[in-house]
Structure 1
Amino acid sequence: MAEEQAAAQEQQPAFGIEKVYVKDLSLEVPNAPQIFIKLETPQIGIELGNTATQLEEGVFEVALTVTVTSKVEEKTVFLVEVIQAGIFQIRNIPQENVEFILGVTCPNIIFPYARETISDLITRAGFPPVLLNPVNFEALYAQQQNQANANGATVN
């Protein structure tokens, strides 16, 4: 009976966070110190991307890349890029749900860490913190799925 319970437990859907970490971090302030003299309000641009890699059966790395660029006119004030990653255990879940978890759930878990890292790094560089707004990863995932479906339809 104990063996049956153990076997049934192994078949239970499972999701777990194994590790959250900074995989890569970059800060550039190419026009320092002159840029600190400018009193104009900079324009902020944000780019976002994520990847998922299977490490072994049921274990995945999800990496969220966030790039924040600040410019005054054509001069770069600062450029920050953070790759915040996590290792997740995902077992006994249907493949279509795994893709959703990797594209939505995991980035939602990782994003607050990336946001904090970026804000802290920008502040340490001598600038006011940049607070990134929440991201709707479900909408981004749906958009990516629609694009993939549209591209697939045009190939046939």
Structure 2
Amino acid sequence: MADKDQNNEQSAADQQAPAQPMFAIEKLYMRDMSLEVPSGAEVFLQQQAPEVGVQFKTAFTQLGADAFEGILQVTVTAKAENKVYFLIEVQQAGIFRVAGIPEEALRGFLGSAIPNVLFPYAREAVSDASTRAGFPPVLLQPVNFDAMAQAADAQAANEVEAPATVQ
């Protein structure tokens, strides 16, 4: 009988204890990828090296109680004198299980953790695409997604605090 009481006490304690944070990768995949060389062979005859610009965008969709799809979009544009040498767009995605994260911290957590997981795969895809297009590999430098997520949270908080004025 004492064992039964201990089991009841333990299960009551388990119910009251907060859930341990959990983050797991279910699936990683390439959602979309495009490569364009709009000027064709003409760009290979140019003497001027192009300037390369990189943009990042993240998106998250809740699929279930603890399942999320995360997408890291990387857009790389190389151009010189208003002529686009190449354009690469990669959407690296994954399905993630997330539990035990407080609701108020979830957005920031997703904005940091998911892109950090997806970035190495997107980096490889961009490098491979640029070499397949006949250009030197584009080597993306490390990105501080933690700072980007914090900045996005701060911007969202400022938009909530500052009411829109209508004139």
After superposition, the Cα gap between the structure-2 partners of 1:145 and 1:12, relative to the gap in structure 1 and judged at 3 Å, is closer
Count of residue correspondences: 155
Cα deviations by residue, 1:41-72 (Å, 9 ceiling, x for unpaired): 10111111001100011000110111000002
TM alignment of 1:7-156, pairs within 5 A: 11-155=19-163
Q: Which runs of 4+ in 1 moved over 4 A?
A: none
Q: Distance in 1 between matches of 2:159 and 2:100?
A: 30
Q: Distance in 2 between matches of 1:139 and 1:145?
A: 10
Cα deviations by residue, 1:46-104 (Å, 9 ceiling, x for unpaired): 11100110001100011011100000211000000000011100012211332222100
So what's the TM-score if we normalise by structure 2? 0.85
User: 2:108·2:150 contact (CA, 8 Å) conserved in 1?
Assistant: no
Unpaired segments ≥5 residues, structure 2? 1-6
Cα deviations by residue, 1:95-129 (Å, 9 ceiling, x for unpaired): 13322221001111101110100000110110000
Unpaired segments ≥5 residues, structure 1? none
Q: Distance in 2 between matches of 1:148 and 1:93?
A: 19
**Sequence identity (%):** 46
Q: Distance in 2 between matches of 1:142 and 1:13?
A: 20
Q: Distance in 1 between matches of 2:104 and 2:140?
A: 30
